[in-house]
Amino acid sequence: MVVYLAAPLAGSVGGWLLISQKTQPFGRKNMRITHVAAAAIFCALGFGGAANAAEVRLMTGPQAGFWVPLGGQLKDAWEKAVPDLKIQSLPGAGIANIRAIQEGKAEIGFGNTITTADAVAGTGEAPLDKKHDKICNVATLYPQYFQMVANADAGVNTLKEVKGKGFATQVKGNTGELIARHVLRVTGYTYNDVKASFTNSYTDSVEQMKDNRMHVFALGTGIPASSIMDLASARDIKLIDMAEIYEPMRKINPAYKLVTIPKGTYPKQDKDVQVIGYYTHVVAACSLPEDTVYKMTAAVLGAKDAMSTIYKEITKLTPEIMAQDIGVKFHPGAAKWYKEKGIAVK
């Protein structure tokens, strides 16, 4: 018989450890041997001279977004910075990542400032209407842009004109889907007023746009978005300006920003376009060891050059940007690193 023992691992990264123990039919003696073995492994594991690698589950983002490759860069940096640390990278999304950490299904991940702050305060829409008290902030990375792009021949020049059109966005659990819902709401619509398609992949949405099953594609990511560039390589596109809905959007969530996509960001974009903005940041389980998160926070800045090859905006990253107050308490390990840089955080 193979017995799997799951037990909390004090001072570990993952929080839980699975132990395989071969035994004969289960009896007191075998149970005692298994517990002794477990105790021995628990004592051996830790970040000073660990006998085995401790594993952290990292939640990234949807396929074809920035978070997947950025997660790869951080995985490399963190495994070099923390002895015996192993990162398991998993697909995710802004809201889903916060939920996973709260529920103990992950230890670290990317988040979006607007939805993380809502979750921690318990003031967001379900499932963020209950306080998420196991989430700590680590570092703000870069601004995000909620973009709505239409096929140029779809007859969509303003938000009002999306009515009745094919509307591609992400499944629930993605911050982009939540913002899409908010944008439709302040425009006077719901998903019932459009022909909505929900996918887990930007790539799938682009394919729907290419063959004209969808007419509008909504997503929250950096600029230029590789998925939009892919679409623009196949057909002419048009970005939809959102300046007119900024104030109504702020009534839904005061953390929404109005940001500008400069002209020339995408092919044939001949003028600046204003859209709804927010920030990407790194969050962690508050239960992660302080020394581990201290080293991981330092490694974020150390990985700036590598990450900027994926997204140029990260070339601007500084300790001050990382330490922005977004209304979510910092992990003690991150706070310690910022303090050494002369930055006081909460």
Q: What is the model's pLDDT at position 53?
A: 55
Do 37 and 149 belong to one domain? no
Give tens-digit pLDDT for 314-325: 999 999 999 998
- Count of domains observed in the chain: 2
- Within 10 Å of residue 27's Cβ, how many Cβ atoms? 10
The answer to the question of residue 101 being in a domain is no
In a domain, 70, yes or no: no
Whether residue 33 lies inside any domain: the answer is yes
Residue at a domain's end among 221, 243, 278: 278
Residue 171: pLDDT above 80? yes
Lowest-confidence pick of 56-70, 71-85, 133-147:
56-70
pTM for the whole thing?
0.72
Highest mean pLDDT among 24-28, 125-129, 246-250: 246-250
* 80 falls within a domain: no
Residue 286's nearest CA partner among 98, 142, 112 is: 98
User: Using the 8-state DSSP alphabet, how is residue 100 labeled?
Assistant: H
Residue 252 in any domain: the answer is: yes
- Which of 278, 301, 316 is the last residue in one of the domains? 278
Domain boundary among 218, 252, 278: 278
> pLDDT tier at 20 (50, 70, 90 boundaries)?
very low
160, 35: one domain? no
Picking from 303, 301, 292, the residue whose alpha carbon sits closest to that of residue 336 is 292
Whether residue 219 is contained in a domain is answered as yes
Query: In a 10 Å sphere around its CB, with 0-12 CB exposed, 13-18 middle and 19+ buried, how is residue 159 labelled?
Result: buried
Residue-wise pLDDT tens digits, 267-310: 999 999 999 999 999 999 999 999 999 999 999 999 999 999 99
CATH number where 217 lies: 3.40.190.10
The SS3 call for residue 282 is: strand
Closest CA to 314 of 29, 4, 67, 86: 67
List Cα–Cα distances, 281 to 39, 41, 209, 247, 286, in angstroms. Answer: 36, 34, 29, 24, 15
**Residue 51, in any domain of the structure:** no
Q: Is residue 184 part of a domain?
A: yes
Identify the domain containing residue 180 by its residue range.
144-278
Higher per-residue pLDDT: 283 or 201: 283
Predicted local distance difference test score (pLDDT) of residue 11: 33
The verdict on 148 and 28 lying in the same domain is: no
